[in-house]
Amino acid sequence: MLEHNYRLKLRFDCFSLLTLPEILYSTEPSWSVVMLWYFLSTYYFYCTGHQATIPAIRFEAAFVGFPAGDGENIVLPALLIILNTFAAPVLFAIGLPLLLFWSKIPKRLLATTVKTSRQSSKGEFDWIEAPDLLRTRMFRLISMYHTLHAIKFLATCCSAALHRRHLMVWKIFAPRFVFEGVSFIVTTVILAASFLAVLRVDQGLRSWFRTLGTS
């Protein structure tokens, strides 16, 4: 079993490396890149030792950074448990805008000497000259990624409804439904925050450039 999991992990890592050039040099992320990003977020949920079952929840994460016996505040411990359980979806949702900006910066970040025709010497500052294009592509990227999570959540709902009279409904299907629902909500909130953060940074950079132009 362990050997099978190791081979599966190795094949998935090789597939990720094969699609790396498309991520680096694509001007607009395609469905294949977004699907890879989505599968990586799902893969690392299980790779970090988590499972969609109640006993697999690491409740000890609620006490990290708090003195023993401190039970007055329950909001922060609950937030720590959620972040520990759904760390992979949260991190990949935060890093989703990198798929849009990465194609602009590989020449400097990776110290490559070959410049493709789709790369500009201005790098990521090209988006400042086209704010509407940035908003459109960013919204499209988030919509594509969010659609994949919505499809998975819908499939989980259908599975839970179909097996509602199953003998193992409260051990397998119901916890899976709860986990997918919480993951979908957390991912939606993080994606909205990422979209607003990108727009805020873009607005700040454009204001800074206007200030430099008038000075």
pLDDT digits (tens, 9 = 90+) for 9-30: 555 555 554 455 555 555 567 7
The number of folded domains in the chain is 1
Instruction: Identify whether the C-beta of residue 43 lies closer than 8 Å to the C-beta of residue 8.
Output: no
Burial class (CB in 10 A: 0-12, 13-18, 19+), 73: exposed
Q: CB under 8 Å to 157, separation ≥6 — which residues?
A: 177
Taking phi first (over 0 means left), then psi (-120 to 50 degrees means alpha), and beta for anything else, what does residue 203 get?
alpha
By residue range, what is the domain housing residue 178?
A: 2-214
Q: CB under 8 Å to 63, separation ≥6 — which residues?
A: 77
Task: Give the pLDDT confidence score for residue 209 in this predicted structure.
Answer: 74
Residue 35 vs residue 123, higher pLDDT: 35
Q: What residue spans of the chain are helical by DSSP H? A: 2-18, 20-25, 31-47, 75-85, 87-94, 98-101, 106-109, 126-129, 131-162, 174-214
Residue 125 vs residue 176, higher pLDDT: 176
Can you give the pTM of this predicted structure? 0.76
* Structure token pair of residue 29: 């992320």
